Structure 1
Amino acid sequence: MNRRLLPVVVLTMAAIPALAATRDEVASMTLDEKVGQMVVSYVYGESATSVSASDAAANEAMFGAGVTTGAQAVAKYHLGGVIYFTWSRNLANPPQIAALSNGLQRAAMADTGIPLQISTDQEGGTVNRIGAPLAISPGAMAIGATFDPRTAYDAARVSGTELRALGITVTHAPVVDVNTNPRNAADGVRAFSDRTAHVATFGVAAERGYRAAGIGTTAKHFPGLGDTTVNTDNDVAVTDESRAQILRTHVPPFRAIIAAGAGSIMAAHIVAPSLDPTGAPASLSRPVITGLLRDQLGFKGVVVTDALEAAALAGYTDEQVILGAVRAGVDQLLMPRSVPGAIRILLDAVESGQLSERRIDESVRRILKTKKGLSPYVAEPPVVGTPAAVETMNRIAARSITSLRTAHLPLRPEQKVLVTGWGVGTTTNLAAALGATRVYTGSPSDTVIAQAVAAAGQHDITVVTTSNAWADPTQVKLVEALLATGKPIVVAAVGTPYDLASFPAAKTFVAAYGYQPPTIAALAAVLQGRTTAPGRLPVTIEGFYPYGFRAH
């Protein structure tokens, strides 16, 4: 095809002319270019064209000899998308990120004339790739605890606006899984609630907020990870729920977000035998992707896999993964184990007749539709972290804190306060906010627990942070040891609120649902009595408190 070259110096927000009818785009593309559009990969380095020796070596290991920069990878493989991570050294600071985005876009535009999808996982809360000076959103469960969908809209609008200023065109959010299993290691505080209607309402509000910001979304993880205990990043996750249960509980939020205009949905690697008796992961399952998502729910947008490097797919060959996903109805292959290998598998499959070029064209048309009218370049330096944006996130965090037991609150100015428990950053920041002494324990040994108990004896009151203590017996042991001192103990859960069931004797329990700076500041304000805790439980703590509860 004819290459459409753009001047390297173009760095403005001037709109690139909208992609003409996608049928014409696809007709003028080579097969290599079309297959490349279906791949979303990470690249190493803070710059598109100038990287460190270690990043150059990492890129060569990934993409082949001579491909040392992200720009070269984009051009050689005609990549449709790049995803940013801190560990691939893409996310140092806002000016660097914007410059990287512009550099990668120049490479894509010079190669195919098609804007690059640049994405990241910026859900807020525990999954937050880019920190300050951006305005940091509380996570989904914290937002769900406000019981006000406008907070989901506002958080998404602010977050989306800031990501877009960095040249990021898609956020892999919102999570619309229904967290029905309290021991869920995949979702937890990443989910808005354990109630289907609650998740659907907040998910749609977030979708609309992102759209108002001009950024694409990826609702995830279809058909829902809420009932699992295993994170598919680490192992195989299986749900034994019946088809009727899945359709009744987990699918409706996806149906709602499709009706709201979602452009992309992420397919999970979960195994759901009631949906596909073959035992194939949902991401490789035609009954799930084509039969349920496309045919039954009517989704016409882009389906992207969850990361194909995930341990859940370790038992499958690259060919089984790549061809299985495309045959299932997937459009974008996220983080294949080998980019050159994935592309070669698709090209060979078309050449041998295992896969038709028409099938490739279907996916490419859907992908190009999401890029239609996209302005790929952003202003440098970007404007992020404005006072208004920060205030929005602070306000939402303040509305999320949920008091369940309040026997020892508020803290009094004359009290000598100790902070201990989970999270080095969490305990450091909370102690600073409270003007308290800190003893860090993390996942503590008996020796460290003894130190914390001894310190508690020298203080009037102890605040102990926990995070998913149900999965960490040492956290439970620490809290029980502190309670046994007879001194006043305040338990502050910075993970899911289900921790209360692990130490029912606690007389003071506050759910914060996260540990980002706005949430820690809001938690400190509640503990000191400078503000109330207006949040309500967006989940049920079986045997203790129902959905919607808060202490009065």
Structure 2
Amino acid sequence: MSSERVETLLAGLSLESRVGQLMMVGFYGTEVDEDVEELVRGHRVGGVCLFKHNVRDASQVARLNDGLRRLLVDHIPPFLALDQEGGNVVRVQDQVVVLPSNMALGATRSPELAYSAGRAQGEDLRRLGFNMNLAPVLDVNLNPRNPVIGVRSYGDSVPLVSELGRAFVKGQQDAGLVTVAKHFPGHGATDADSHTSLPIMEETREEVLAQMEPFRAVIQDGLDGLMTAHVAIPRLTGNDVPATLSPQVLDGLLRQELGFDGLVLTDEMEMEAIAQRYGVGRAAVLAVKAGADMVLVPWQPEKKIEVYEHLLAAARSGDLPAARLEQAVRRILTAKLRRGLFETPPVLEQRLSNPPPPGNGEVAHLIARASVTLLRTDGRHFPLSPSTRIAVITAEPSLGEAILSRSPRASVLNVPAYPAESRRAALRQKARKAALKADVVVVGMINSRQAELVTMAAATGKPVVVVSMGLPYLVEMVDEARAVLAVYSYQPASTSAAAAALFGEIGTPGRLPVHLRMFSFGHGLDPVGQKQAEAAQGAAR
């Protein structure tokens, strides 16, 4: 890639166009209309981020991306981004690999699977016209009460997050996708959600630097970009300024100490951690002055105008120095050239007529099966027999479907993941009735709301087997269970793997990627896998 090309492109941009490049915007709707054209072409924005409300299916979103690119065909091509993390953050589900959560990957301990996940996801997203993914999450989930990271993290071990994060980033970048890891310098130890308030990290400088190690590792490998965290780190910076707006964090720590010269994108500027205290327009100027290259403004139309006008006014007045503006745009152009955004993509109909590589979808199943973790069993109720009368009580319907396909006599009670308070008593009674008619009860948990259903089912005297599809910390709430499986995700690949493990079709090779009060990091039982291995050894003799 020629630096001369970057300088030529930069020199050809007006001040207004340079300011537009700093903006990553979103919009409501599933097609390009006059409002979208005014937003994207009118402001010559640097990127567009799509969310679930922009996506109906693969064909539609591919055409939407194609239309967005055509809006700027005579200008600088835009980043076409989304945050497709896998697990509980999935924007596109059609004709792409839908990965289990990062924590499921953590349970596999496999950098090879992490690389395959990044590569497969990158290839599938590029086919639909995306050129940037705001993933992976490299936060280390050190706080079990963290309300926003959880299974989005690979685990609570810095070496594990570093190893798997490096592999995933390499896979996704090898697929040609601009990769933006998040949330620098770390959001995993907080107990607040920056969507609603400003999280304060109370760790020492040394502890903060230790949590940053996964970012340091991928930076050394040539990471394309980073997303900032709206967190304050007073024992590092001496104040409560969010990292997104802090020159000490973005310039001093990230640029100077870590030597990162790639793209820096803020998290959503409309989050309360920023908007309530600073105002979105002012905060955008502060972020760019601090060292961010792009600001993410996805929601309210008036906030996008506010950000553009504040950035333009600051650039004209010199409050945003010309050198800093040029530096930011230079990094944006460099990333776009490096990942081929200026090259004409294959014709849309040609891309859509070619199905995704057949092995890509299988990656999700390989991860899911390798992640299944048996945390405990009484030795009598795991694995299950298909002929047993099984009652399934689950917050994820695909678990019940996967069990029914193996045990047609099973009964299934689907319950809401977040039931209204007025419905909880009735759900408890339904759970009790289902348990009374069964020999064994399987409860599929996504969150703590299902713990009382475990208690109700166990109170009938029937043995209960729990499948945890959410945070592994949930298993500490279900002492009554005779066996406990963790799969870390409610995506279909994970519920299918859970059912296969329940009936002994596969082993349970996963290892716990976090520390629990009851179980140590790395814990996991695999009685079926051990028997299969012993049988294989016997046959080989």
| Same fold per superposition (TM over 0.5) | yes
CA distance in 2, matches of 1:271, 1:396: 35
- 2:59 corresponds in structure 1 to 95
Matches within 5 A, 1:260-299: 260-299=221-260
TM-score, structure 1 as length reference: 0.88
C-alpha deviation, 1:44, in angstroms: 3.1
* Counterpart residue type for residue 109 of structure 1: V
* Counterpart residue type for residue 369 of structure 2: A
Match of 1:256 among 213, 217, 220: 217
CA contact (8 A) 1:71 1:103 kept: no
Match of 2:90 among 128, 141, 147: 128
- 2:359 corresponds in structure 1 to 388
- 2:520 corresponds in structure 1 to 546
Matches within 5 A, 1:128-207: 128-207=90-169
- The gaps in structure 2 that reach 5 residues or longer are 527-541
TM-score, structure 2 as length reference: 0.90
Query: Deviations along 1:307-364, whole A, 9 cap, x unmatched?
Result: 1121222222123311211121101101165111111101111222212222111100
- 1:409 corresponds in structure 2 to 382
C-alpha deviation, 1:211, in angstroms: 1.2
Matches within 5 A, 1:429-508: 431=404, 435=408, 436-442=410-416, 443-444=418-419, 445-469=424-448, 474-508=449-483
* Counterpart residue type for residue 388 of structure 1: G
Query: Deviations along 1:56-103, whole A, 9 cap, x unmatched?
Result: xxxxxxxxxxxx34233211000100011122xx21122222211111
- 2:535 corresponds in structure 1 to none
Shift in alpha-carbon separation, 1:430–1:169, aligned structure 2, 3 A: farther
Alignment of 1:115 with 2:83, yes or no, is: no
- 2:529 corresponds in structure 1 to none
Q: Give the secondary-structure state (helix, strand or coil) at the position aligned to 2:443.
A: strand
Q: Give the secondary-structure state (helix, strand or coil) at the position aligned to 2:384.
A: coil
C-alpha deviation, 1:434, in angstroms: 5.0
- 2:68 corresponds in structure 1 to 104
- 2:312 corresponds in structure 1 to 347
Query: Identity percentage over the alignment?
Result: 36
C-alpha deviation, 1:410, in angstroms: 1.2
* Counterpart residue type for residue 335 of structure 1: V
Alignment of 1:377 with 2:365, yes or no, is: no
Which stretch has the larger CA shift, 398-407 or 145-154? Answer: 398-407
- 2:39 corresponds in structure 1 to 73
* Counterpart residue type for residue 38 of structure 2: Q
CA contact (8 A) 1:91 1:97 kept: yes
Shift in alpha-carbon separation, 1:430–1:317, aligned structure 2, 3 A: farther
CA distance in 1, matches of 2:278, 2:215: 27
Structure with higher helix content: 2
C-alpha deviation, 1:20, in angstroms: 5.5
- 1:39 corresponds in structure 2 to 23
- 1:421 corresponds in structure 2 to 394
- 1:361 corresponds in structure 2 to 326
CA distance in 2, matches of 1:278, 1:468: 35
- The gaps in structure 1 that reach 5 residues or longer are 1-16, 50-67
Q: Give the secondary-structure state (helix, strand or coil) at the position aligned to 1:490.
A: strand
C-alpha deviation, 1:155, in angstroms: 0.7
Shift in alpha-carbon separation, 1:42–1:159, aligned structure 2, 3 A: same
Shift in alpha-carbon separation, 1:530–1:209, aligned structure 2, 3 A: same
* Counterpart residue type for residue 519 of structure 2: Y
Q: What is the root-mean-square deviation in Å for CA atoms of aligned residues?
A: 1.9
- 1:83 corresponds in structure 2 to 49
C-alpha deviation, 1:247, in angstroms: 0.8
Aligned length: 508
- 1:234 corresponds in structure 2 to 196
* Counterpart residue type for residue 435 of structure 2: A
CA distance in 2, matches of 1:120, 1:529: 38
Matches within 5 A, 1:292-311: 292-311=253-272
Structure 1 runs of 4+ aligned residues shifted over 4 Å read: 17-20, 424-434
Q: Give the secondary-structure state (helix, strand or coil) at the position aligned to 2:375.
A: strand
* Counterpart residue type for residue 70 of structure 2: R
C-alpha deviation, 1:427, in angstroms: 4.7
CA distance in 1, matches of 2:344, 2:103: 32
CA contact (8 A) 2:181 2:227 kept: yes
CA contact (8 A) 2:399 2:499 kept: no
CA distance in 1, matches of 2:329, 2:432: 60
CA distance in 2, matches of 1:75, 1:282: 31
